[in-house]
A and B are shown apart, each in its own frame.
Chain A
Amino acid sequence: MGRAGTVMDDLLNDFLAETAEILAEAGGALVAWEADPADRAQLDAIFRLVHTIKGSSGFLSLPRVTALSHGAEDALDQVRRGNRTADGALVTGVLGIIDRLSQLCDTLGQKGVEPAGDDSDVITALATRDEAADAPAEASDIQLRREDDLTTELQGWRSIRVPLPLLDSVMTGVTDIVLARNEFARMLRESGANPSLIASFDRLSDSIAGMRQSVSQMRMQRIDKLFAPLPRVVRDLARDLGKKVRFATSGGEVELDREMMENIRDPLIHIVRNAIDHGIETLDERVLAGKDITATIQVSARQSGNQIEIEVRDDGRGLSPDALVAKAMASRILGAADARALTPREKLELIFRPGFSTAAKITSISGRGVGMDIVKANVEKIGGIVELRNEEGRGLSILLRVPMTLTIISGLMVRAAGQYFAIPRGAVREILLETSDSVRIERLGGGEIATVRGEQFPLLRLETILGRARDHRDDVEDRALVLVRPGQGQSYALSVAAIHDHEELVIKPAAPMIMATGLYAGTTLPDNGRPVLLLDVQGILAAAAIDASEAGRQMDQAVEAEAAAAAERNAAQLLLFRDINGRTRGVRLSVIERVEEVPALALFESAGQVQVQIGDDIFPVHAAKLPENHGTLKLLRLHDGQSVLCYPIDAVIDIVRLPDLVQPAAAPGLIAGVLLVNGEPVELIDPFWLMEQYAGGAVVSAQHQPICRIADDHDGWGDNFLAPILRNAGYRVVAESSDEAPDVLLCLTDEGGACAHLGGDVPVIRLRASVAAASPDDDTVYRYDRGALLEALRRRVGGARA
């Protein structure tokens, strides 16, 4: 290869690196855009990304890449011009092109030439809809520049790519310079050098400080980049598994060292996949558990001192410690004796054991033998730790805490137990002497509280946390309080034996077993050449197990969150389901008591009515005939506060907000009307009508049944003829001798007004044997007039007890 070849290789490598980044970004942007097709800015951004690939590929003459990117660009342009609407098919099509481009670039990276092949499948899949609107362009005749080129990507030309090893060597060089400067500063102080020498050294020192700042920035990148591929991962996996997942990220502006980022990319993706595959329940399970059918996965990043916390939180089923133990024993990585000795925390941490996989069966998605043990090892390799916060049944949070950088931070040196420790300066709010007038220290129930100018802080003594005795040489007068703010909304007072000074510290991760104590964030070498441990201000909080939240503000947030949650709950929601006839129907969520899954054999037919036995209860089922299959059947259990009706369905689809616009049905019936959900018509079930159909036969639970007592039943007519009708109508009939207080009294005497049992407030209905009323103001009821009798009962007792 000649010189030209080398230049070409460089260009190709640049193109591949750039394209890989663009493809990752475009995938995430597309998924976001799919969720909100009205977001014009997002569409423009995707268009520009695809357009950039096309431009560069044309320059390098990569016809397949050019044709593919042109296909995507063209479809997106149609949307931009309003000739085509954005829908799921379009997004899937563009994602298909992006996948093909990724494959091509991989091959290109390995072989150096574009492989031969045909991409018309993915391109036509995308182009099907706009053939009429716009004749498809020939691959050979693709315009490489559009008129709006000049305005886009001008910024792109103002950056260059630097190989990471070069950046690393610059970094190491600067680190050594800083160490040498520190050493030199110490020697200057000790030698009592003259002021002009010190002044010129200070100038040097300042420019070194400026340089190290720039170098650390060179290596920093917004954590957005790390999050970019996640929306796509979530979308695809959730689709494959038939789950609904809302994915959100926050804290994307946090900056992290590039190298750190490389090291946590795979663990992060693995954790998110695990959350969807194992953590999030199926739709039915979520409905049964009373959860929002759309699960939430939240990935958030925040800076805490010189560490970055990345949290992946899901609202799925969480981890079950006992299930984990059973699983570990079944896979023979834990003996029965060891299992008994485990603390709850250790049980959870079983998932980090090699060879452990939480799925009951290995799935194609996450059970590939790459487990949480690899995740943990990768994070620890860069001096980070993995924490689990489990709420069984409610969700799991996995927290990755990694050092922000391997570079230099400003640190406060403190002494405790005769040894120096460093605290990241960024986390220090204030430093006070314990003897200061503005500090009051009190012992309260075994703990200590420091009150500083009226504000209270939990007080931790560094020696206690480290498990060391105080050094006898320490002077009590020197003891100081460092007010530490480890993260947003948290603060505490750390009591140390003495404050030493501030220094610029080069932080390196400590060995895994030291990081595992949770007390240290790394090691550093100050100018005296003796290593110093950097304290992990957040980990100390965890080790001390105190609540350091700054209460007031936290309270406000809690109230707001509660209000928002309440508003969400109040909004009418619609349960979408697929009916057994295959139609998509919806019913107000609030009328559904639960979703039952019963064997088909639990259904039986009686008196022309399909019924189901669930437990000890029998409920009517809205079905014309018994189901033919013998598997299981899903039933929506509708409850109107009094009676239950089961409605057989095929599957639960989703829970959505009930749209305001409903097209009402012409006549009352099962379908109250039709509404549009996500552009699809959905039939809205009328629960009122449904209940009305079955109200007569509905079984009312015993405690809601009004009690009827039949009085003066001398010939047994009441017991033999009347009682069955009353029971059928949902009343409970008690014997005349019963002590139970009745809700209504039925008098079977013809002696006008002379019911011997008139007593207290109990309403009385008198029945007469003759058809005709004795007088116009006769309030008795003819005993065979069923309708009038039931009506009278309803009037007296209101149908049922509240």
Chain B
Amino acid sequence: MMDKLYLVARIADTRVALRSRSINSVVTVGTPIEVPAAPPHVAGLFALRSRVFTLIDPHVVVGLSSVPVAPGQRVVVVDVAEHGYALLADEIEDVCFIDAPETRVTGKLLPGWARVAEAMIEHEGHSLLVVDPSHFITLPAARAA
């Protein structure tokens, strides 16, 4: 059953489905603190229940320009290699069971998206990209700029 549970959210201006088992939680972020000299997709640090999380701006990861963090914005918390990260989400829509099978990505995606998208899935008459949040943590090795 858990396999079919997805979080539907808008990340980096795109509606995506995230497999629920890859997600720790969804929380609201306060004002993050900046990390000078960090890579551009690091939007800052924030604390949650005596843990410090690294805030990631997915816009930068897929090749868009960064978007400032709004107070009260919701983030998707994930654990990668024993570190806590939070992906800035433009909007969290729903957590729901999607019965449709995951299908291979058809059509050509922008390079940034092609790296993070694993599959596609049909939900309420729309196609959503299924993305693995851990792919957002690292920037592509070959820097485009």
Q: Within 8 Å CB of A514, what residues of B?
A: 35, 38, 42, 54
Tell me whether B142 is interfacial, beta carbon within 8 Å: yes
Tell me whether A529 is interfacial, beta carbon within 8 Å: yes
Q: Within 8 Å CB of A467, what residues of B?
A: 36-37
Q: Choose the segment among B5-13, B78-86, B108-116 that binds chain A (4+ C-beta atoms closer than 8 Å).
A: B78-86
The 5 A-B residue pairs with the shortest CB-CB distance, nearest first, are A466-B36, A511-B54, A531-B45, A523-B52, A531-B52
Q: Which residues of A (266-325) have their CB < 8 Å from a CB of B?
A: none
What secondary structure prevails in chain B residues at the interface with A? loop
Q: Which residues of A (365-400) have their CB < 8 Å from a CB of B?
A: 377, 381
- A165-182 toward B: CB 8 Å interface, digit per residue (1/0)? 000000000011001000
Q: Say whether, besides A511-B83, A514-B42, A525 and B47 are in contact (CB < 8 Å).
A: yes
> B31's closest neighbor in chain A, by CB?
A530
Q: Which residues of B (41-73) have their CB < 8 Å from a CB of A?
A: 42, 45-47, 50-52, 54
Contact B37 A511 (CB under 8 A): no
Contact A338 B52 (CB under 8 A): no
**Residue count of chain B within 8 Å CB distance of chain A:** 24
Contact A508 B36 (CB under 8 A): no
A37 to B142, CA, bound (A): 56
Min CB–CB distance B72 → chain A (angstroms):
16
**Residue count of chain A within 8 Å CB distance of chain B:** 33
> B39's closest neighbor in chain A, by CB?
A513
Contact A517 B37 (CB under 8 A): yes
Tell me whether B93 is interfacial, beta carbon within 8 Å: no
A531 to B85, CA, bound (A): 14
Tell me whether A417 is interfacial, beta carbon within 8 Å: yes
Min CB–CB distance A170 → chain B (angstroms):
16
Tell me whether A129 is interfacial, beta carbon within 8 Å: no
Q: Within 8 Å CB of A517, what residues of B?
A: 35, 37-38
Q: Please tell me which one of the listed residues A175, A381, A512, A530 contacts residue B33 in the complex, with CB atoms under 8 A apart.
A: A530
Min CB–CB distance B13 → chain A (angstroms):
23
Q: Within 8 Å CB of B138, what residues of A?
A: 513
- A460-500 toward B: CB 8 Å interface, digit per residue (1/0)? 00000111100000000000000000000000000000000
Min CB–CB distance A756 → chain B (angstroms):
85
What 12 additional pairs, Cβ within 8 angstroms, besides A377-B81, A381-B82, A420-B33? A417-B36, A419-B33, A466-B37, A467-B36, A506-B50, A511-B54, A511-B83, A513-B137, A513-B138, A513-B139, A523-B45, A531-B45
Contact B35 A176 (CB under 8 A): no
12 contacts between A and B (CB under 8 A): A338-B142, A381-B82, A417-B36, A419-B34, A420-B33, A512-B81, A512-B83, A517-B35, A525-B47, A525-B50, A531-B33, A531-B45
A8 to B34, CA, bound (A): 55
Contact B52 A525 (CB under 8 A): yes
Contact B42 A176 (CB under 8 A): no
Contact B47 A530 (CB under 8 A): yes
Tell me whether A86 is interfacial, beta carbon within 8 Å: no
Tell me whether A510 is interfacial, beta carbon within 8 Å: yes
Q: Please tell me which one of the listed residues B37, B45, B46, B50 contacts residue A519 in the complex, with CB atoms under 8 A apart.
A: B37
A77 to B55, CA, bound (A): 63
Greatest chain A CB density within 10 A among B45, B82, B85 is at B45
Contact B142 A531 (CB under 8 A): no
Greatest chain B CB density within 10 A among A509, A510, A520 is at A510
Min CB–CB distance B7 → chain A (angstroms):
22
A130 to B82, CA, bound (A): 55
- A220-261 toward B: CB 8 Å interface, digit per residue (1/0)? 000000000000000000000000000000000000000000
A501 to B137, CA, bound (A): 34
Tell me whether A75 is interfacial, beta carbon within 8 Å: no
Min CB–CB distance A178 → chain B (angstroms):
10
Tell me whether A533 is interfacial, beta carbon within 8 Å: yes
Contact B45 A533 (CB under 8 A): yes
Q: Within 8 Å CB of B38, what residues of A?
A: 513-514, 517
Min CB–CB distance B51 → chain A (angstroms):
8
Tell me whether A532 is interfacial, beta carbon within 8 Å: yes
A420 to B42, CA, bound (A): 18
Q: Say whether, besides A467-B36, A530-B33, A531-B33, A511 and B85 are in contact (CB < 8 Å).
A: yes
A519 to B35, CA, bound (A): 10
- A514-558 toward B: CB 8 Å interface, digit per residue (1/0)? 101101100111000111110000000000000000000000000
A466 to B38, CA, bound (A): 9
Contact B81 A381 (CB under 8 A): yes
A460 to B139, CA, bound (A): 30
Contact A513 B47 (CB under 8 A): no
Q: Within 8 Å CB of A419, what residues of B?
A: 33-34, 36
Q: Within 8 Å CB of B47, what residues of A?
A: 525, 529-531
A512 to B81, CA, bound (A): 10
Contact B52 A508 (CB under 8 A): yes
- A60-83 toward B: CB 8 Å interface, digit per residue (1/0)? 000000000000000000000000
Min CB–CB distance B118 → chain A (angstroms):
20
A519 to B38, CA, bound (A): 9
Greatest chain B CB density within 10 A among A381, A419, A512, A531 is at A531
A465 to B36, CA, bound (A): 9
Q: Within 8 Å CB of B33, what residues of A?
A: 419-420, 530-533
Q: Within 8 Å CB of A466, what residues of B?
A: 36-37
